Amino acid sequence: MGLWKNLFAGLRGLFQKRQGEQELDDELRDFLDKSTAEKMRGGMTREEAWRAARMEMGGVEAVKENVRSAGWETYIETLWSDLRFGARLLRFNPVFAGTAVLSLALGIGANTAIFQLLDAVRLRTLPVENPQEIARISIEQREGLSGDFNGRFSDFTNAIWEEIRARQQGFSSVFAWGSTTFNISPAGEVHNVQGLWVSGEFFETLGVKPVLGRLLTPAEDHPGCGAGAVISYSFWQREFGGERSALGRSISINRHSFPIMGVTPPEFFGVEVGRYFDVALPICAEPVVDGAEYAMLPRRSAWWLASMGRLKPGWTVERARAQLRAVSPGIFEATLPAAYNPGSAKRFVKNQLGVFPAGSGVSDLREEYESPLWLLLGLAAVVLVIASANLANLLLARASAREKEMGMRMAVGASRGRLIRQLLAESLLLSMAGAALGAFLAHGLSEVLVASLNKQQDPLFVNLGTDWRVLGFTTGLAVFTCILFGLAPAIQATSVSPWIVLKEGGRGTTDGRARFGLRRVLVVLQIALSLTLLVGALLFGRSLGNLAKVDAGFQRDGILVTDLDYTSLHLTNEQRVAFGSELLKRVKAIPGTDGAAIVEYAPLSGNASFHDVLMGTSSLPADEDKSSAFNIVSPGFFAALGTPILAGRDFDEHDVAGAPLVAIVNETFTRKVAKSENPLGITFRVRRMGTMLGPFEIVGLVKDTKYVDLREKPEDIVYTAIAQADHPDEDTQILIRSKMPLAGLISAVKATASETNGNLDVSYYVMKERIEGGLLRDRLMARLSGFFGILAVLLAVIGLYGVISYMVARRRNEIGIRMSLGADRRSILRLVLRESLLLLAIGLTLGIALALAASSAAASLLFGLKAHDATTLIMATLILAVIALAASYIPAMRASRLDPLEALRHD
């Protein structure tokens, strides 16, 4: 109650100021009157009594001031007048104010942009009902899992998911989902949209309500499956213009028609932060969409689902985890894939389920970018510190110019604390203006950041709204920088003695040396920090360079990969092989084609397959087999790719079904698996999903190529012939090397496809672009750290230049005297440069120590070099030293060219 009264009275004091003042006046006058009256009764004259009463009270204004300062509202009042005064001063110095605000805006903007992204992918909770109750179920240490993995979160097979649903107790309900892409084009060129497989409980558990129609319910998710598709709000807007008539219309998904049953609300993007969905189908519809041959639903070795649930009231994550752990053996024993070899099976049943908080959803984007973003935030913060140090330097220079003003104000009775407050108000004004502009910049910057991470084949969606966290962060930065650059100069400026007012002239004031010392410390700090950033920039730049130079084992340029899908033709196995080679023949006939070949997995496409290899002809299943990477190709593959055949031969027209099975292997396979100098003629068998294949005879040896990722160590790869494939796919992926311009080539391929058969689904990508997509994170780190590094060096050099110039200006007299006493130009040059060399040396030493300590944070993000890379450190030190010396050479030259007479005449 006291607090409210205080608050209310304070507000009244602020807003009804005149009335308050009047009352205080009245009260004091009343007091004086009574005091006077009393004194007159004691025998004084009216005049005397009045004077005595006034004397007793002391200064009326002082009393009033004391009364006012007993309430909190005075602080606000003085702050307000300080701010107004500060604004007036800054208006008189537009260049200073402009530079300060702009550099702060850049620094704060960069920090806020990165934080905004972090907030969106890491800190924010899912836009669903009570997100803190949502938890994810997954396997804790994944052991002995093999099979087909599909989607971004392939935690479970359908069998495991059904067991979990039946046996869990800690959740009021659980759901499963899987990410995929759906082709919504009824024919011709493929149009992929972001798809979601969801179990019937998905929307209910999350508490998502439809904006139109209705959403899927558990009752509709059953074998046989008659349900329709749920579409997202953005998809509804994009494809149907937000028309209500979309309801009841149908949409083609992988050439199957589904009625649209409902639309989700605008803010709902699924449970994967950083991604979105366009269409959601019940998981029971999967066999229909993917076709019986490829259906994942009934297969125990198809991993394509992930699971979450809403905890029951009173159940914690730990309790739910303990319960699921207890039932884990039962679940894994009941779902063991039949094809597993005994070793894998033993490890498979030992897996344990875990429960993890998932109020902020799951995110592959987060897994990939969280630590780089924190690192970038750190770099941006350092840039801000360097910029603040520059501002502090500027303010210190101003502080010496304002010595007199401060002395005067202290002489007339202002307290030091009051003056510091007033100077800080000025700094606060600068930092607030910088923060406001920075927040504005940040919005654009973070969008650019997200756009730079976007890949065409798996698009991002990051909701970059400004929430209280971002606001708090930006405000915090403003206050932090204000104190960083404002406090020291304010303390310095007010450390003058009031006597200064009485001194004539400004030369050689008492404490100039101390003040100058602080500026030197700031410059040393700037050099040290900017060296650290420069080291970081060079590390990431060189790491990206290493990745670009990696020998992938083939020529990346000029390759188009096209996929021709003929599922709709319903061909038999033999027909598929024939149709594929017909397609290849026609593609080869396109003018300008240097080479074309069929390939199961294009290198570095992210698709892969590993199978057990058994050397010799033995068919006895070993406990633990070595597994190798596999690929299925047509003759001419290595020529088209530009991979040299080192020994033996390529596949040819004789390697067909019925002929002896042949294989081509790479160098690593020879070394690690075949363990032989000359692998030609060696035979081996392959165990694929429980089936024994082979024996294969090795007929060729090729150079190592990268398989899934540029960063990987060479994999042992086995190539088999497409014409001998035991189970050909219903699509043919053709790799084309061509001289033709891309656009022309693509339309030629499309024309060829439709000439062959009008019912093909055609999709394509440029190999080089796909490979570069895999380097996005490295490119982001190299670019941003490079930008921050350059900015930091620039700011530090400006700081050094400023301090050296200032020193030259201060020592003008001394230099003049030295020159007139016979010092030559070179010795003056030396005098000045010695100063900057000293600062530089201390700064660089400090910086090297700092860089060594800090760079280990980057270790996991680097490729082909260590975090403590000596070359990088030396390069950075040299670059910074040269630039810094060049910058201090300018004022040094100026000093050496001083006219001694002129210098002495000036004060």
Partner 1 sequence: MTDTSATLVQGTLDMLILKTLALEPRHGWGISQRIQQLSHGVFEVNPGSLFPAFRRLERADLIACEWRISENNRRAKYYSLTKAGRQKLRTETMEWERQVAAIARILQTAS
Using CB under 8 A as the criterion, which residues of the chain lie in contact with partner 1 when the complex forms?
A: 1-2, 5-6, 9-10, 23-24, 26-28, 30-31, 33-35, 37-38, 55-58, 62-63, 66-67, 69-71
Q: CA-to-CA distance for 356 and 371, rounded, in angstroms?
A: 20
Peptide bond into 695 cis (omega under 30): yes
Residue (10 or 186) nearer to partner 1, CB: 10
Task: Tell me the closest approach of the beta carbon of residue 887 to partner 1, in angstroms.
Answer: 56
What dihedral angle (degrees, nearest 10) is formed by the CA atoms of 631, 637, 639, 640?
-110
Q: Which amino acid type is present at position 208?
A: V
Residue (63 or 725) nearer to partner 1, CB: 63
Q: Which phi and psi (to 5°) does residue 629 adopt?
A: -80, 145
Task: Tell me the closest approach of the beta carbon of residue 74 to partner 1, in angstroms.
Answer: 11
Task: Tell me the closest approach of the beta carbon of residue 813 to partner 1, in angstroms.
Answer: 51
Task: Tell me the closest approach of the beta carbon of residue 56 to partner 1, in angstroms.
Answer: 6
Contact criterion met (CB below 8 Å) for 535 and 870: no
Contact criterion met (CB below 8 Å) for 597 and 588: no
Calculate ∠ Cα 826-830-835, nearest 5°: 160
Place of tokens 């033995």: 618
Residue (54 or 469) nearer to partner 1, CB: 54
Residue (7 or 659) nearer to partner 1, CB: 7
Max Cα-Cα span within the chain: 138
Q: Which amino acid type is present at position 581?
A: S
Q: Which phi and psi (to 5°) does residue 27 adopt?
A: -65, -45
Helix spans in 194-250 (H) = 202-206, 233-240
Residue (50 or 806) nearer to partner 1, CB: 50
Task: Tell me the closest approach of the beta carbon of residue 66 to partner 1, in angstroms.
Answer: 4
Residue 52 CB-half CA count within 13 A: 15
CA 240 remoteness from chain centre? 33
DSSP 859: G
Closest to 599 in 3D by CA, of 539, 567, 554, 568: 554
Residue (59 or 98) nearer to partner 1, CB: 59
Task: Tell me the closest approach of the beta carbon of residue 22 to partner 1, in angstroms.
Answer: 11
Task: Tell me the closest approach of the beta carbon of residue 70 to partner 1, in angstroms.
Answer: 4
Sign of the CA dihedral with 91 first, then 92, 98, and 101 last: negative
Residue (67 or 846) nearer to partner 1, CB: 67
Residue (34 or 739) nearer to partner 1, CB: 34
Task: Tell me the closest approach of the beta carbon of residue 218 to partner 1, in angstroms.
Answer: 60
Residue (70 or 95) nearer to partner 1, CB: 70
Residue (2 or 241) nearer to partner 1, CB: 2
Task: Tell me the closest approach of the beta carbon of residue 409 to partner 1, in angstroms.
Answer: 24
Sign of the CA dihedral with 655 first, then 661, 667, and 668 last: positive
Task: Tell me the closest approach of the beta carbon of residue 67 to partner 1, in angstroms.
Answer: 5
Residue (38 or 243) nearer to partner 1, CB: 38
Task: Tell me the closest approach of the beta carbon of residue 539 to partner 1, in angstroms.
Answer: 59
Task: Tell me the closest approach of the beta carbon of residue 32 to partner 1, in angstroms.
Answer: 9
Q: CA-to-CA distance for 539 and 531, rounded, in angstroms?
A: 12
CA gyration radius, the chain: 38
Task: Tell me the closest approach of the beta carbon of residue 846 to partner 1, in angstroms.
Answer: 49
CA distances from 453 to 183, 448, 450, 458, 464 (A): 23, 9, 5, 10, 14
Residue (69 or 456) nearer to partner 1, CB: 69
What is the secondary structure of 290-310 as a DSSP string?
Answer: H-TTT-STT-TTEE-BEEEEE
CB-neighbour burial class of residue 197 (10 A; exposed 0-12, middle 13-18, buried 19+): buried
- Residue partners of 468: CB distance under 8 A and separation at least 6: none
Residue (28 or 725) nearer to partner 1, CB: 28
Tokens of 716: 């042992």
Task: Tell me the closest approach of the beta carbon of residue 3 to partner 1, in angstroms.
Answer: 9
Tokens of 648: 């033996």
Residue (8 or 440) nearer to partner 1, CB: 8
Contact criterion met (CB below 8 Å) for 447 and 464: yes
Helix spans in 605-739 (H) = 637-641, 667-669
Contact criterion met (CB below 8 Å) for 580 and 704: no
Q: CA-to-CA distance for 165 and 142, rounded, in angstroms?
A: 20
Calculate ∠ Cα 511-512-516, nearest 5°: 125
Residue (5 or 18) nearer to partner 1, CB: 5
Task: Tell me the closest approach of the beta carbon of residue 84 to partner 1, in angstroms.
Answer: 26
Place of tokens 């875990």: 354
